[in-house]
Amino acid sequence: MSVVTLTINGQLVSARAGDTILTAAREAGIDIPTLCYVDGLSAHGGCRICLVEIAGSPRLQPACFMKVGEGMEVQTDTERLRGYRRTIVELLFAEGNHICSVCVANGACELQDMAITVGMDHDRFDYIHPNRQVDLSHDRFGIDHNRCILCTRCIRACDELEGAHTWDMAGRGSHSKVITDLNEPWGESQTCTSCGKCFMACPTGAIFQKGDTVAETDHPRAKLEFLVNAREKKQWNV
């Protein structure tokens, strides 16, 4: 296994060749904010929250995708990046219907936390207030498309961990929408095993456990981590 050396925020870091900048940074104790990335699932590179600057390149790169390179000089927390991150979060809030005060995930939501991280005290964009639906046809879970940020974490968890591939993305641009099977009600899905992995993976109040009301949902992320560890490292520690 070859090792590469790079600097992240001026700090000398060594990493395995083939690692992403995100992995290298986190192993060196430098956090880069992420939304669509989940340890143990394939990277998606959709949310752009993890963008970093690389010396000599005019383009920003997503740390969850970009591989480390010998001698690379990476910056993860500049004024410019902070500005972009805040803009991204503001766009996410403006695009959906995020009414935290009446949301199942209030207090346990990665989008809400990200707004705090980027210091969003208000949204500079006009709220679109799209007319989106809620599907409560499944016995145990519900999906509220108003809260969905299209991160595809549910799609990847269901496909890569459960092997069911119940979820997929339909539509384009702001009309995109996660669907179950061939856009049928979730409760009528022939593929869903009701395992709950999509619920564990969802960062927001979009996928929730039925019966949970305002501020009651807490996606059991630790369970997902356990499953990933068990699969990848054959560790079954509870």
Partner 1 sequence: MERLRLATIWLGGCSGCHMSFLDLDEWLIELAQLADIVYSPLIDVKTFPANVDVTLVEGAVANEDHFHFIQVVRANSRVLVGFGDCAVTGNVTAMRNSLGSALPVLQRGYLELADVHKQIPNDTSVVPRLLDRVLPVHQVVPVDFFLPGCPPPAPRIRAVLENIVQGKPPHLEGRDLKFG
Interacting residue ranges for ligand SF4, rule: CB under 6 A: 98-100, 103, 105-106, 109, 111-112, 147-154, 157-158, 162, 164, 166-167, 178, 192-198, 201-207
Beta carbons within 10 angstroms of residue 10's beta carbon: 8
Of the candidate residues 21, 43, 52, 115, the single one contacting partner 1 (CB under 8 A):
115
Q: How far apart are CA 6 and CA 70, in angstroms?
A: 6
Residue 53 C-beta: closest distance to partner 1, Å: 24
Instruction: For tokens 């210091």, name the residue.
Output: 119
Contact 132, 97 (CB under 8 A): yes
> Which of 134, 133, 98 shows the shortest CA–CA distance to 115?
98
Residue 170 found at the interface with partner 1 (CB under 8 A):
no
Q: Tokens in use for 7? A: 């600097």
Exposure letters 163-174 (e unless 16+ CB within 10 A, then b): ebebbbeeeeee
* Per rule CB under 6 A, count of chain residues that contact ligand FES: 12
Single out the residue of 83, 107, 211, 220 in contact with partner 1 (rule: CB under 8 A): 107
Query: Containing H/E element for 141?
Result: strand 141-144
CB of 72 to ligand FES, least distance (A): 17
State yes or no: residue 114 binds ligand FES (CB under 6 A): no
- The reply on whether position 105 binds ligand FES by CB under 6 A is no
Tell me which of ligand FES, ligand SF4, partner 1, none is bound by residue 101, counting a contact when its beta carbon lies within the kind-specific cut-off of 5 to 8 angstroms: partner 1
Residues at the interface with ligand FES (CB under 6 A): 34-37, 45-50, 62, 64
